[in-house]
Amino acid sequence: MFLFLPIIVGCPTTYKAQAHHQVPHVCPNCHNASVIAAKRTTWFELFFIPIFPMSRKNVWMCHICQWHAALNAGEEPPTVGYSHPPAYAMEGQGWQQTGDQPPYPSTPQPKSR
């Protein structure tokens, strides 16, 4: 009797952030502040189970457009993304709040005709 058993293999690539709290950099492709340092690992899989890593590299990766580039030790990182101003910088505008938007009125204003 002949038994046919298919063997399923693959080599997927996974990305993992290097640190939990990173300052996002500006992506040169989509211009969003979403580029972080990550580790790219290509695995050999047998029946969807990772067996051993085939290659590992440190890369810059954008979570929005999936752009990535090699992270070399001597290279300049992408420019730092925009960070929100602290809450005390908004005090001179007539309101004090720790968020990014001004407070909204609690009751709706009537429309003038």
In a domain, 2, yes or no: no
Please determine, for residue 60, whether its predicted confidence score (pLDDT) is greater than 70: yes
Beta-carbon count within 10 A of 35 CB:
30
In a domain, 48, yes or no: yes
The DSSP result for 70-105, as a single string, is E--TTSPPPPBPP-PPPGGGGGGGT---SSSSPPPP
In a domain, 112, yes or no: no
In a domain, 54, yes or no: yes
Higher per-residue pLDDT: 66 or 109: 66
Please determine, for residue 46, whether its predicted confidence score (pLDDT) is greater than 80: yes
* 80 confidence band (pLDDT: 50, 70, 90): low
d(CA 63, CA 25): 11
Q: What is residue 82's predicted lDDT score, i.e. its pLDDT? A: 57
Domain containing 46: what range?
16-70
In a domain, 77, yes or no: no
Total number of domains constituting the chain: 1
* 4 confidence band (pLDDT: 50, 70, 90): confident
In a domain, 105, yes or no: no
Whether the CB-CB separation of 46 and 9 falls below 8 Å is answered with yes
